[in-house]
Every structure is written in structure tokens, then in C-alpha cells.
Amino acid sequence: PKGLQSMLEPIILFIRDDIAKAAIGEKKYEKYLPYLLTLFFFIFLNNLIGLIPIFPFGANVTGNLAVTGIMAVFTFVITTFSGNKDYWKHVFNTPGVPWWLKFPVPLMPFVEFLGLFTKPFVLMVRLFANITAGHIIVLSLICLIFIFVSVWVAPVSILFVVFMDCIELLVAFLQAYIFTLLSSLFIGMATAEEHH
């Protein structure tokens, strides 16, 4: 491979081998790999575009709850409809749990059912909060120049902004990786066969 393909191929193989195969399993990962790749590259590219401060870039797309919420809903729908009977058995009648946690008050099934909705919510908030926090820090550092109304604050502020932008490059990749990994783990839990 040459050019763009030589840059993208290791990332695609990493997502296939270390995320999808590891979390979902050898037999079922291929069905979900296109979704996981789309998810990773969508988040990663939007995070990178959000770091460029020149128009038409600079939009903080993944720092928007609506965008991260829709991605979390996609993961929730895929997980819910891919869940096998073992998955639903663990949700509503968790094996290995004392009977008094299941009956007469279904405490454990309620907690497990609530977990179905908290997982995508956590996915949504984690991505939103991490991306927004980095942008707020950069904006705050730039605002220091105008707050102190001093030219002497500008070099220090700009130096810290450049440092934060370098960290944001790492965060851009890391957050795409974490969202994709957690999505594949949730799908893997829903599709896993019961071991005897």
C-alpha cells in the first residue's frame, strides 16, 4: 500500500484485530466491523476538524450532546437487537445471584434493566464532556489575554494553548478509540454465547 492507504490500513487492522475480534469474537465480529470502523473514523475526523480554528473548520461536532447521543443510540439499538437469549437471561434472571435479590422485590433485574440505558448514556456523556472540556480550557487560556488586557500575558497564554492543542490531538484519537472499544464491548456482551 502507498499514500493514504498505508496510513489507514494499520488503524483499520488495529480496530479489526484488537477491538472487534477481541471484544465480539472471531465468529461474529465481521457483522459489526463496518459500524465500528464508521464510528471510529467519524469521531476521530470530527475531533481533528474541531481543532482547526480557521473557517470552515473549528466546529466542535463531538462536543454536541445531540451528535454523541445519536451515536450512543445507534450502539444501544445494535446491542439491543443483537442480544441473544443468554444476554436477556442475564438481564432479567441473573445467574449466581441469591434468590432474595430477585424475588419478591426484583432488585437485581431492575438494576440490570437500568444498566441497559445507563451504558449508552455514559457513552454519550463521556465523549461530550472530554471534547468540550478541552475546548473550554483552550478558550479560557485565550481569554486570559483579554481579561488581563496585557501584551505580556499573550506569549504565555499562546504557549499553553499550543501545549493544550497537542494534548487535544492525543484526546482526539483516544476518545474515538474509547467510544469504539466500549461499543464493541457492549455488542460483545450481548452476542456472547453462554459457556458451560
Give residue-wise pLDDT tens across range 32-53. Answer: 999 999 999 999 999 999 888 8
The answer to whether 116 and 80 are in contact (CB under 8 A) is yes
pLDDT of amino acid 189: 94
Q: Evaluate the CA torsion angle 31, 193, 21, 70 in order and state its sign.
A: positive
Query: Hey, what's the cell of 114?
Result: 437500568
pTM over 0.85: yes
The pLDDT value recorded for residue 172 is 94
Average pLDDT over residues 170-193: 95
Q: How confident is the model over 96-151, as pLDDT tens digits?
A: 888 887 777 788 889 889 999 999 999 999 999 999 999 999 999 999 999 998 88
Query: How many residues can be counted in the chain?
Result: 196
For residue range 13-31, list pLDDT tens digits in order.
999 999 999 999 999 999 9
Q: Render pLDDT for 45-97 as a digit per residue (tens, 0 to 9).
A: 999 998 888 877 778 899 999 999 999 999 999 999 999 999 998 888 888 88
pLDDT at 98: 84
Residue 193 to residue 166: CA distance in whole angstroms: 42
Task: Compare 105 and 3 and report the one with higher pLDDT.
Answer: 3
Q: What is the largest CA-CA distance in the chain?
A: 70
DSSP string, 4-21: HHHHHHHHHHHIIIIIII
Burial code (b: 16+ CB inside 10 Å, e: under 16) for 120-157 equals: beebbebbbebbbebbeebeebeeebeeeeeeeeeeeb
Q: Which three cell numbers stand for residue 163?
A: 501545549
